[in-house]
Structures are given as C-alpha cells and as structure tokens.
C-alpha cells in the first residue's frame, strides 16, 4: 500500500509528509520509517532532526499498542543507524498517544496518508465518548461506524494532489448511513483504485467485515468551495490552476526538491567581493538582485563556508586569514541569538545554516522569494543562493526544459492564484506555495512531447515551447502568456522567433 502511493525508498521523500492516524502496533508506520530513511540516504540528504522532523505523524489512542509501535519504531531507527539521541527526538516528534478524531492538527497537511482505521459501530462506543465525538465532529461523520469519521478527517488533512491508501471495511462506499459523508467528502478526492481483499489474508486476527484496499488522490473539484489559500481575483485562472492541481502531480511528486538558500546570520561577515581569506573556503554567492531577466549577472560575491565537507565547523587555527577576517565581526557574531541560545560561544563564527558545498554545486533553478516582476534563472555554476532565493533541483526533469516551462507562464499563473500579494503588488512565493505547483512527471510525457520540449528549449523557440506546454496543461496559449516572465515575453518578437497570432 505504501509503495502504491509513492511512499517508497525510490521516491524523493525529503519534503513529503506521512500520516497514519491509528498506528496500532505499527504495521504501516514501521515500513514508512524504513522507506523514509532509505530514501534520504539514497538522495544523500543528511539524517538530522531538521530533515527528518515533521516528516511522519503516527497517532494511536490505545496506550499499550502505542508503546509497542514506539518500541518497533525505535528498533527500526537503531537498525538503520540512527543514534539514540536523534531516535528519541524523532519518536517524540513523530508519534502521538492521542485521539486522532479529537486532536486539532491546525493546518497540517500530508502528502501521503495511510490507515487501517478502526471499524466500530457508533452504537458500540462508550456513551460518554460518542457524546463527545458528536459534539465536536461534523454531522456527516457521526453515523454508522467510526471509520467514516477517520476517512473524512484523513481526506481533510491530505494536501491537494496527495495520496491516500485505506485498508477498511467496504461500508463507507455503499452503506446508506455513509451517504452524507460520500456526498460531502468523496468529491474532494479521486478514487484511483479499489480492490476487494480476502480478510484472512490481510488481517492478523479474524474480522467480520468485507475489507477492501482503496487508493485515493486528494483532488478538489471546481464545483465546490475553493480550497483554502487561493488569493487570485482572476476567477478564470484560479479555476484553471485548481484543475491542474486536481489532475497533475505536484512538483515534489514529480521528483523535484526545493530548498531555500542558507541563512548565514550576518551576511557582512561571511559574504564579500574580495575577501582576504583562504581561497579554499570560498564559494561563489548569488543574491536576488543578481537574477536579471531570466539570467544571472553575478557580481563576483563569494561566501565563506565555515563548515568542512564532513559537516563539522572548521578549526580557525588552520585558517589564519579567515580567523583574522572573522575576528573583526566577533562581537556581532557572538551576540546572535543562535549562539546565545545554544550557549555555544566556542562556535561563535558558525553560520546559521551550513553552507553545504556539495548540495549547492548541483545545477538548480533559482526563483526569488519576493518578486514584483517574476524572474527564473538556471545556475549551472555551483553558486550558493542567498536566503532570499529558492532553488529547485531535479534529477528527473532536464533542468533547462523545466526552467523554460516555469518561465513560460506555469509558475506565474500558479503563484498568481496561491501566493499572497504584498505591498506594491509584489508576490511572496514561499516554499509551501512553490511545492504545490502542478507538474507532470517527465517520464509520463509522451516521447514526442519530451523531444519537442527539449528541442524547442534548446533552439530558443519560445513560441513553439509555450504552445507545447499549453497543450500538455490543456489550456490555450494565451492563458499562459500573461503569466510568463518578462524575459520570456520580451523575446517573442525578436527575429528568428516564429510569429504566432495566438500568443
């Protein structure tokens, strides 16, 4: 079930979030932990509380089962080489001994949701508990059996485009008591596949239901209230973007990774044009203002990487020029909250985030976090972006093609609908907005489309490229056109570019 919804070591799970609302003794959560760690190891992501925290949530109300699941997760982490301290932190972060139906998860959303929800008739619930549930849960959830409430809440907690896998009784699909639930909640999902299964094969203990396994995709349809987070006043574009979101995978599911540039915690100390420090510690550095048009106008800035490739802080005694340079900023660097909070005065010269040389050496697409005039550039020179730039990496999409696709209007249209507008009509496109961007899997495109995109991108044929993107996204070219970057549009009339009335 996990593999079927893409929670597997073969996928890049570094930004994904998994939920099992009733983990029991851990039949799903244990393999989910295994897949997560294996995936991060495979993609070379460091295993830290930052990268692993918040990736999983497992809830269980029954204390003995919860403790067994927690023990099993601990044993799995140990077996996979996670040290005790991190393992304890992750167990605390991931696992909750709580009532899933009563707990408020605020605005948490998950990309992958799996459960074998409890099948229990409402009439069998202790009276006090069913009264509490009935006073706190929507009416449509509280008749028939408890699994209906679980499935409804799971759907609500799934991100648009996110996938669900359920092992449950078939009652929520057919029973009269679940009609209101079906009417109101099933239209938020697409049912991808339902398989009847043999109870004796899938359960460890005998059960008296007709079980099925269902795979669903969260896909809000246009005929209901718009999912929260749409800001556009342009209803037509909003409807189109919603349709893309319901049909296409997200950019993360299509194998991209999004990261923000590292926070340094006093740029003046770490960045400069002609720094008198040891050459080997310097890496080219890019600020938002150096993304010009859709290209890069590097001003020659460099950042000092004060961490060694292994991740530890460098020993300043071995780098006397760097030591002398940083000493000038010492009072300021020591006064930073990150140093004071961790009572870490020895490491006063560290940057807030490690400037990871091998990560930033990879080719990436750069998008400024705040833009008034959208710009999207491709960096193939291993530069480190500032904290105000987002980097999009992908092993699956050819990056120059993906850059062009984003510049041709797809990113602009989506951000126009979901990213908030700030002063001066500018947009703030946080990672959580970028990561919702609908993008087909490269491998799922026809050969003709892959070849056509690659050829027109390489030839600079922006009109031909945009026409193909419009075709893939199922819209007219002039839906994309107003949202394309300035640069993308500016070139349309240049000699050599095909004339096209539609654009």
CB of residue 429 vs ligand SAM: minimum separation in angstroms? 36
Give the span between the Cα atoms of 136 and 153, in whole angstroms: 12
CB of residue 99 vs ligand SAM: minimum separation in angstroms? 4
| CB distance 389 to 431 below 8 Å | no
CB of residue 146 vs ligand SAM: minimum separation in angstroms? 7
CB of residue 127 vs ligand SAM: minimum separation in angstroms? 16
C-alpha dihedral sign at 356, 31, 98, 147: positive
Q: Which of 246, 253, 247 is nearest to 226 (CA)?
A: 246
Using the structure block, give the residue that is written with the tokens 């074998």: 116
Q: What is the 3-state secondary structure (H, E, C) of 67-131?
A: HHHHHHHHHHHHHCCCCHHHHHHHHHHHEEECCCCCCCCCCCCEEEEEECCCCCEHHHCCHHHHH
Closer to ligand SAM by Cβ: residue 65 or 283: 65
Burial (Cβ within 10 Å: 0-12, 13-18, ≥19) of residue 351: buried
CB of residue 116 vs ligand SAM: minimum separation in angstroms? 4
CA 300 centroid distance within chain: 32
Closer to ligand SAM by Cβ: residue 65 or 140: 65
Closer to ligand SAM by Cβ: residue 205 or 499: 205
3-state helix, strand, coil in the chain (%, to 5): 45, 20, 40
Closer to ligand SAM by Cβ: residue 25 or 290: 25
Residue nearest to ligand SAM (CB): 24
Closer to ligand SAM by Cβ: residue 27 or 240: 27
CB of residue 179 vs ligand SAM: minimum separation in angstroms? 23
Binding footprint of ligand SAM on the chain (CB under 6 A): 22-28, 59-62, 65, 99-101, 116, 118
CB of residue 71 vs ligand SAM: minimum separation in angstroms? 13
How many CA atoms are closer than 13 Å to the CA of 141, on its beta-carbon side?
21
Closer to ligand SAM by Cβ: residue 120 or 422: 120
| CB distance 73 to 33 below 8 Å | yes
Closer to ligand SAM by Cβ: residue 61 or 260: 61
Count the neighbouring beta carbons within 10 Å of the beta carbon of residue 306.
22
């Amino acid at each position: 079930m996990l593999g079927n919804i893409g929670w597997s070591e073969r996928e890049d799970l570094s930004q994904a979030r998994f939920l099992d609302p009733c983990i029991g003794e851990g039949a799903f959560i244990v393999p989910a932990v295994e897949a997560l760690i294996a995936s991060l190891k495979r993609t070379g992501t460091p295993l830290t509380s930052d990268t692993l925290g918040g990736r999983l949530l497992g809830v269980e109300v029954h204390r003995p089962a919860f403790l067994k699941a927690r023990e099993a997760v601990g044993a799995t982490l140990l077996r996979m080489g996670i040290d005790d301290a991190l393992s304890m932190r992750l167990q605390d972060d991931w696992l909750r001994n709580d009532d899933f139906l009563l707990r408020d998860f605020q605005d948490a959303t998950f990309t992958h949701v799996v459960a074998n929800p409890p099948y229990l008739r409402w009439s069998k619930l202790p009276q006090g508990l069913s009264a509490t549930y009935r006073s706190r849960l929507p009416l449509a959830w509280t008749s028939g059996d408890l699994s209906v409430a679980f499935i409804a809440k799971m759907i609500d907690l799934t991100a648009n485009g996110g996938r669900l896998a359920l092992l449950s009784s078939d009652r929520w699909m057919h029973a009269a008591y679940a009609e209101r639930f079906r009417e109101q909640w099933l239209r938020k999902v697409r049912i991808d596949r339902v398989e009847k299964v043999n109870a004796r094969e899938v359960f460890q203990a005998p059960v008296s239901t007709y079980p099925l396994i269902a795979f669903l995709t969260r896909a809000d349809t246009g005929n209901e209230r718009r999912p929260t987070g749409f800001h556009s006043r342009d209803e037509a574009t909003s409807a189109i973007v919603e349709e893309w979101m319901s049909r296409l995978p997200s950019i993360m599911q299509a194998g991209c990774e999004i990261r923000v540039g590292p926070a340094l915690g006093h740029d003046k100390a770490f960045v400069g044009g002609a720094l008198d420090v040891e050459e080997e510690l310097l890496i080219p550095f890019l600020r938002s203002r150096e993304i010009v048009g859709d290209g890069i106008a590097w001003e020659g800035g460099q950042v000092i990487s004060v961490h060694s490739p292994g991740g530890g802080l460098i020993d300043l005694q071995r780098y006397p020029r760097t030591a002398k340079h940083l000493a000038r900023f010492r009072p300021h660097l020591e006064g930073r909250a990150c140093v004071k909070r961790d009572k870490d005065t020895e490491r006063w010269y560290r940057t807030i985030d490690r400037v990871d040389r091998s990560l930033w050496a990879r080719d990436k697409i750069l998008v400024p976090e705040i833009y008034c005039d959208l710009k999207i550039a491709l960096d193939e020179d291993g530069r480190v972006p500032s904290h105000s730039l987002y980097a999009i990496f992908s092993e699956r999409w050819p990056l120059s093609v993906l850059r062009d696709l984003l510049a041709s209007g797809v990113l602009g249209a989506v951000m126009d609908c979901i990213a908030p507008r700030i002063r001066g009509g500018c947009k703030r496109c946080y990672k959580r907005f970028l990561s919702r961007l609908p993008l087909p899997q490269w491998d799922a495109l026809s050969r003709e489309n892959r070849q056509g995109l690659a050829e027109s991108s390489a030839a600079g044929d922006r009109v031909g490229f945009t026409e193909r993107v419009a075709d893939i996204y199922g819209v007219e070219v002039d839906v994309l056109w107003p949202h394309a970057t300035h640069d993308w549009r500016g070139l349309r009339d240049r000699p050599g570019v095909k004339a096209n009335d539609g654009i």
